[in-house]
Structure 1
Amino acid sequence: MSIYDMSYRTKTYLAGDWDGDKDLIDKLHEWNDSERLALNFTDVHEFTSSNDNSHNCSIKRSLRQRMNLCKTFVLVVGPKTKSLRSGSCALCGYYKKGLYGINPYCSLSPCNSIDYRSYVDYECDMALKDFNDGKIKNIVVIYNNRLLVDKSLCPDSLKTVGVHIPSDRIGEDGKRYWNYQRIKDAICK
């Protein structure tokens, strides 16, 4: 039996700009790995990974398989999240524009449909569909390096869904801190 054959969903799916927002993604893992903190989730990406040399379409298939294992979807939103293009078929070497730029197609497999969404947009669309179908129980959107939620930075598909929280807070001493308790409460809900 493969990991993809599991019919139950127990994992957490982390999505975001792994370059620009890696600080918060790393912090989530640090909190999760800490013996003294109560943040407790299993990141589905620890079970499977895609080869960076894989084609965009095969990576998206792998992302779909991972999502099928998840009950919680966490999106880390930063200043570049909405403008990410990595994952679009238009950026793949097998993407062909067709005669006169009409009817683009995939030369790798003519049966592949063309998908212009980035990996993050694809993941958000999957999460929304699974949430609406009752397969995902929880969507959490965390705004990195923010004291307030700024939904203009969020991909359109998730602007009105789930729990939206800032990554930072101001402490009683007036200093800026990670918003650990609200993030924990949202993810572990």
Structure 2
Amino acid sequence: MAYRNKTYVAFDGDNDIRYYYLMKAWRDRDNDSFNFHDAHDLNKSRDSSQEQSIKANLRTRFSNSKAFVLLVGESTRYLTKFVKWEIEQAIKLDLPIIVVNLNGKRSKDESRCPPAVKDALAIYVSFNQSIIRYALDNWPSSHKKHRDQQHSGPYYYKDNVYQELGL
């Protein structure tokens, strides 16, 4: 089994890639452990036109992941070819899911939430470096506790957590 030390990030590669690039800039600037795979860097598959080869490559990335971050923008809920599959894989592998609302909402956004993650055990946060890092540091252990108690559905951090982070 692979050593799981990465964070798998999924997003709408056509519309929301700038947010992913910003996350990479945060990581590079701070030189910290905010380490993740680019779910849309599909060029590693020899034939990127073949859905099967792309998914095989993504499965390898999942096998190295300790958490799944889903960046949710305006169109994410309509993506069924890869994003839906990535969500399903994260649920199947029981990865802690962190849903990041690109519109700043701090809880589940019913109008943008992809149906595949709608009822899954997940934490919902706004797009901000501090709260995303906080979720990456804290949600995996909370996820395990909630899962062990057979809880599911959406979770979110209360306002005092955001205030403590200066948000």
TM-score under structure 1 normalisation? 0.63
- Of the three residues 59, 63, 85, the one matched with 2:54 is 59
1:1-189 residue pairs with structure 2 within 5 A?
A: 6-35=1-30, 38=32, 40-45=33-38, 49-51=44-46, 53-84=48-79, 117-131=80-94, 136=95, 138-149=96-107, 150-160=109-119, 161-167=121-127, 179-189=128-138
Distance 1:148 1:26, change over 3 A: same
- Distance in 2, Cα, partners of 1:43 & 1:52: 23
Q: Percent of pairs identical after alignment?
A: 34
Specify the code of the residue in structure 1 equivalent to 2:18: D
Distance 1:45 1:79, change over 3 A: closer
Look at both structures and tell me which one has the larger radius of gyration over its CA atoms: 1
How large is the RMSD of aligned CA atoms in angstroms? 2.4
Maintained 8 Å contact 1:11/1:71: yes
Maintained 8 Å contact 2:10/2:38: no
1:148 Cα deviation (Å)?
4.2
Distance 1:35 1:41, change over 3 A: closer
Maintained 8 Å contact 2:71/2:102: yes
* Higher share in helix: 2
Please name the residue that 1:176 is paired with.
none
Runs of at least 5 residues in structure 1 that lack an aligned partner in the other structure: 1-5, 85-116, 168-178
- Distance in 2, Cα, partners of 1:152 & 1:29: 27
1:182 Cα deviation (Å)?
1.1
**1:147-184 Cα shifts (integer Å, max 9, x gaps):** 443133122222232111122xxxxxxxxxxx322111
Q: Secondary structure at the match of 1:75?
A: strand
Maintained 8 Å contact 1:21/1:78: yes
- Distance in 2, Cα, partners of 1:51 & 1:25: 23
**1:12-34 Cα shifts (integer Å, max 9, x gaps):** 10101022111211111111111
Maintained 8 Å contact 1:128/1:157: no
Distance 1:60 1:183, change over 3 A: same
- Distance in 2, Cα, partners of 1:11 & 1:148: 24
Q: Which runs of 4+ in 1 moved over 6 A?
A: none
Q: Secondary structure at the match of 2:9?
A: strand
Q: Secondary structure at the match of 1:8?
A: coil
User: How many residue pairs align between the two structures?
Assistant: 134
Specify the code of the residue in structure 1 equivalent to 2:97: I
Runs of at least 5 residues in structure 2 that lack an aligned partner in the other structure: 139-167
